[in-house]
Amino acid sequence: RSRLDDFCTEDDVLKKLQSAKKILVITGAGISTSLGIPDFRSSRGFYSRLSNLGLSDPQEVFDLDIFRSDPSIFYSIAHMILPPDNVYAPLHKFIRLLQDKGKLLRNYTQNIDNLEANAGIDPEKMIQCHGSFAFATCVTCGYKVKGSTLYPQIRAKEIPFCPLCVEQRNKLLDQDAYVEESYGVMKPDITFFGEALPLLFHDNINQDLRDCDLIISIGTSLKVAPVADIVDKVRGSVPQILINKDPIHHCNFDVSMLGYCDDVVSYLCDKLGGSWNIDHPSYESL
Ligand code: OAD
Ligand code: ZN
């Protein structure tokens, strides 16, 4: 996809925000960093903190095969990524504002912090592309529980087991029989490398790509497929805006607004004026 010739300035962005009716917003970990939640790949991001786990690549904490062979690796760090209660950032408020103005087609979030829900994004307007902690599933029998029932064990860095399988697991262990490490282990329904994305993603993305009239990618390095591929698949006439701390060179954005995303959207809201208000001081007034 080549860039649009007639969409390249800040004014174009402001006009399009006013006229757009079906905005597809793609978000990643960068929209929550202002709350002290680390992103993944920045120099001080989550992956930089995992050097003591003995993994050849820190992304392996979310690798399905590795989880199956040793679930204790994931459960030694899972407490660090549990969703926080009651907080959200100005950027989440901006997405909520787009929703309130009837402009939000859908927010495709890669985040598992669930802060979109805290900000009041309608569940129908949001797709958690990499799943969430809302539910957890037994890797052996598929039994599901509410994710929050596992939080005490996750906080204690213990491995949670399935109530239906744990007895059999202990019996096999007592008999010195072979038991897979992950037999009867509960896994939160967050999408690991090697797993398919939630059905909701596949059910909606093609129609949303046909319907959207603007794409805004915010706080994501766009390094993980298939979310990273969304921006390549949209029709050429749909403007694409990037709001991110670091530039992204492997995608063709029409306008890249580089900076802290809370500040960039506050700046845009100030320029738009009126009901475009997210109660966050804009870059200029900081
Ligand atoms: P990354 O850590 O790869 O990228 C975060 C991006 O946000 C970087 O480009 C930063 O420059 C930018 N950023 C950080 N703070 C920012 C701020 N305040 N304002 C604007 N931009 C900021 O995170 P994701 O792209 O979300 O998967 O990573 C995608 C997936 O990779 C995650 O969902 C996760 C991970 O493996 C799973 O957990 C399954
Ligand atoms: Zn089970």
- Quote the tokens at residue 11: 């004014």
For residue 249, which ligand has an atom nearest its CA? 1
Which residue has the least CA distance to atom 6 on ligand 1? 220
**How far, in Å, CA of 133 to CA of 139, rounded?**
15
Please tell me the total count of domains within the chain: 2
28 and 164 together in one domain? no
Cα(160) to ligand 2 centroid in Å equals 11
Q: What confidence score (pLDDT) does residue 13 get? A: 98
Which helix (H) or strand (E) segment holds residue 24: the answer is: strand 23-27
- Quote the tokens at residue 169: 């697991």
Site to substitute for ligand 1 among 26, 110, 192, 266, most atoms within 8 A of C-beta: 110
The verdict on the CB of residue 27 being under 6 Å from ligand 1 is no
Does residue 21 lie within any of the structural domains? yes
150 and 274 together in one domain? no
Q: Which residues, in sequence order, are CB contacts of 199 under 8 Å at separation 6+?
A: none
Cα(54) to ligand 1 centroid in Å equals 23
Q: How many CB atoms lie within 10 A of CB 164?
A: 13
174 and 277 together in one domain? no
Q: Which residues, in sequence order, are CB contacts of 221 under 8 Å at separation 6+?
A: 28, 40, 41, 244, 246, 248
Does residue 231 lie within any of the structural domains? yes
CATH number of domain containing 171: 3.30.1600.10
Domain boundary pick from 145, 174, 190: 190
Domain of residue 72 covers 39-83+132-190
255 and 126 together in one domain? yes
Q: Residues marked as binding for Zn(2+)?
A: 138, 141, 162, 165
Q: Is 130 a catalytic residue?
A: yes
Does residue 265 lie within any of the structural domains? yes
Whether residue 223 contacts residue 248, with contact meaning beta carbons closer than 8 Å, is answered with no
Whether residue 214 contacts residue 238, with contact meaning beta carbons closer than 8 Å, is answered with yes
- Quote the tokens at residue 180: 């897979």
110 and 48 together in one domain? no
The verdict on the CB of residue 59 being under 6 Å from ligand 1 is yes
Written as tens digits, the pLDDT of the chain (286 aa) is 778 989 999 999 999 999 999 999 999 999 999 999 999 999 999 999 998 888 999 999 999 999 999 999 999 999 999 999 889 999 999 999 999 999 999 999 999 999 999 999 999 999 999 999 999 999 999 999 999 999 999 999 999 999 999 999 999 999 999 999 999 999 999 999 999 999 999 999 999 999 999 999 999 999 999 999 999 999 999 999 999 999 999 999 999 999 999 999 999 999 999 999 998 876 555 4
Q: What confidence score (pLDDT) does residue 54 get? A: 87
Cα(67) to ligand 2 centroid in Å equals 16
**How many Cα neighbours within 13 Å face the side chain of 269?**
25
**How far, in Å, CA of 192 to CA of 197, rounded?**
9
Does residue 3 lie within any of the structural domains? no
Inter-helix orientation angle 90-100/261-272, to 10°: 40
Which of 212-232 are b and which e, b meaning 16 or more Cβ less than 10 Å from the residue's Cβ? bbbbbbbbbbbebeebbebbe
Query: Of 92, 130, 249, 250, which is the active-site residue?
Result: 130
Site to substitute for ligand 1 among 31, 42, 46, 115, most atoms within 8 A of C-beta: 42
3-state secondary structure 172-216: HHHCCCCCCCCCCEEEEEECCECCCCCHHHHHHHHHHHHHCCEEE
**What CA–CA distances, in Å, run from 123 to 24, 95, 116, 140?**
15, 13, 9, 29
Q: Which residues, in sequence order, are CB contacts of 96 under 8 Å at separation 6+?
A: 119, 120, 121
Gyration radius (Cα) of the chain, Å: 21
